């Protein structure tokens, strides 16, 4: 957390509060984690985009603020006890909160991602026209890594994290430990369609807010896609596939807790 749906929900809610506004001051006490933010001060926000799990703010003067929310990062419109950075906007403030402090900020020349390796090698956006079935098939055919690990790697497709990898693999009936290159063309097509469907539904629902409530929308509302989870965090519960008598199991793949149905995802 947060993954593509949570980051996109955050970006959309922030956009009307940032576009055309001048960043008067970025106040924080951690220049190693929030790098060169002083370069953004006094500059107007011209655009907002998302790339994978990154928020990209285009600034005056050819600069760009790159924000990665890490595991627990997010924004609030009101002060919060875990505020790590405060955006002074003249007619108000915006608060970046991050209880576990894994989030990062960079201010760079627009498009210069040399120090942000993941952003440079990231694959296509799953809800964009660039995410093509044949390109996805070629990416999977080149590796023997487990399919869950490939999805988490961000190079075959951007923005898919632990929750949405589990949900996509469940929907496409693929075992998370299968070598990516072993997937038949029909299985790759099912997974491709499942990723697009799961991501679209999750964005529409505002993302997933889990039991720790670490992710909330900037106005404090939760996401609601957790109400539609079929695999993630459902260990021991019945599989939702019609006619299936299996129960969701939990294993560890690539160091991440992984949920699947042993009956549907053989």
Residue 195 sits in a domain whose CATH number is 1.10.8.50
Q: 3, 6, 125, 149: which one is catalytic?
A: 3
pLDDT at 90: 85
Decide if 146 is catalytic: no
In a shared domain, residues 141 and 223: yes
The pLDDT mean for the chain works out to 96
Nearest to 237 by CA among 168, 229, 27: 229
pLDDT in tens, 145-160: 999 999 999 999 999 9
Q: How far is CA 14 from CA 52, 77, 139, 200, 257, in A?
A: 17, 9, 34, 19, 31
Domain CATH number, residue 94: 3.20.190.10
Q: 50, 53, 104, 148: which one is catalytic?
A: 53
Is residue 120 helix, strand or coil?
helix
- Asked if 4 contacts 159 with a C-beta cutoff of 8 angstroms, the reply is yes
Per-residue pLDDT averaged across 95-102, rounded? 96
In a shared domain, residues 137 and 256: yes
For the annotated binding site, the residues are: 82, 100
Over 90: is that where the pLDDT of 212 sits? no
Domain end residue (candidates: 99, 121, 143): 121
> Which residues have CB under 8 Å from 204's CB, separation 6+?
none
Q: What are the φ and ψ backbone dihedral angles of 45, each rounded to 5 degrees?
A: -85, 120
Domain end residue (candidates: 121, 156, 180): 121
- What is the maximal distance between C-alpha atoms in the chain? 60
Model confidence band, residue 250 (pLDDT cutoffs 50, 70, 90) = very high
| Percentage of residues in the chain having pLDDT higher than 90 | 96
Cis peptide before 2 (omega within 30 of 0): yes
Range of the domain at 68: 4-121
Decide if 53 is catalytic: yes
**Residues composing the chain:** 266
For the annotated binding site for DNA, the residues are: 82, 100
**228 part of a folded domain:** yes
Decide if 256 is catalytic: yes
Specify the range with the lowest mean pLDDT, choosing from 14-18, 60-64, 89-93, 260-264.
89-93
pTM of the model: 0.95
Count how many domains the chain has.
2
Q: 27, 178, 256, 263: which one is catalytic?
A: 256
Cα angle 164-107-89, degrees, rounded to a multiple of 5: 90
Over 80: is that where the pLDDT of 1 sits? no
């Amino acid at each position: 957390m947060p993954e593509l749906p949570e980051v996109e929900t955050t970006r959309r809610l922030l956009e009307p509060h940032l576009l055309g506004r001048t960043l008067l001051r970025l106040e924080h006490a951690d220049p190693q984690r929030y790098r060169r933010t002083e370069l953004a001060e006094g500059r107007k926000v011209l655009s907002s985009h998302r790339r994978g799990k990154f928020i990209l703010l285009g600034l005056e003067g050819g600069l760009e603020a790159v924000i990665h929310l890490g595991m627990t990062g997010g924004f609030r419109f009101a002060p919060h006890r875990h505020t790590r950075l405060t955006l002074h906007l003249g007619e108000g403030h915006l608060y970046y909160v991050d209880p576990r402090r894994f989030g990062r900020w960079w201010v760079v020349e627009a498009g210069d991602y040399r120090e942000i390796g993941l952003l440079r090698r990231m694959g296509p956006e799953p809800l964009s026209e660039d995410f093509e079935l044949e390109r996805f098939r070629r990416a999977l055919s080149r590796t023997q890594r487990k399919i869950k690990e490939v999805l988490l790697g961000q190079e075959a497709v951007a923005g898919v994290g632990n929750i949405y990898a589990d949900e996509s693999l469940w929907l496409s009936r693929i075992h998370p430990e299968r070598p990516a290159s072993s997937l038949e063309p029909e299985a790759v097509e099912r997974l491709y369609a499942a990723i697009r469907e799961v991501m679209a539904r999750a964005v529409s629902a505002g993302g997933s807010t889990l039991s720790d409530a670490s992710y909330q929308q900037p106005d404090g509302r939760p996401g609601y896609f957790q109400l539609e989870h079929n695999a993630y965090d459902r260990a021991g519960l019945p599989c939702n596939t019609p006619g299936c008598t299996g129960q969701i199991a939990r294993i560890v793949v690539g160091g991440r807790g992984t949920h699947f149905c042993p009956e549907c995802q053989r």
